[in-house]
Amino acid sequence: MPNGGQSPLEIAAIAARNALLPKNTYNNAAPANEYTATHTRAIADQKTPHYGKGTGNFLDIENYAAGADFDILGNPSTAIGSGRNPAFALNLGTFGFDPTHRYTAPDTSKNIGQVII
């Protein structure tokens, strides 16, 4: 292959990467513009409500307040039943599970002939 063995896809990817990297405006040396879990574009705040989805806490995976309005409440005009709260209500009404009523695996230790992996 010409070009040091690079495929056409690699050549195109390198060109695109070089065009996209200068667009990164975050500067880790400047605390006011450092991209962290508390940056306005990382959290769902009023300043940038549709960019971030987090709460500002590192690996905050079980915080049900995280997310933008559509993540929490859904978009009833285009996706009926979407959103975390409608899904919780559906799961609770249909299966009996939500964040306060969690699923627990049944005890299968007395099942005869069951293969345990």
What is the structure's pLDDT at 23?
Answer: 66
Q: What region does 4 belong to: left with phi over 0, alpha with psi -120 to 50, or beta?
A: left
In this prediction, residue 95 has a pLDDT band, given cuts at 50, 70 and 90, of very high
pTM equals: 0.51
The yes-or-no verdict on residue 49 having pLDDT over 70 is no
Where are the chain's structural domains?
A: 68-117
Q: What is the DSSP letter of 53?
A: -
Burial of 48 (0-12, 13-18, 19+ CB in 10 A): middle
Higher model confidence: residue 88 or residue 53? Answer: 88
User: What are the CA-CA distances from residue 36 to residues 22, 31, 44, 63 (Å)?
Assistant: 19, 10, 13, 18
Among 67-71, 82-86, 110-114, top mean pLDDT goes to 82-86
- CA distance linking residue 57 with residue 73, whole number of Å: 21
What is the structure's pLDDT at 96?
Answer: 92
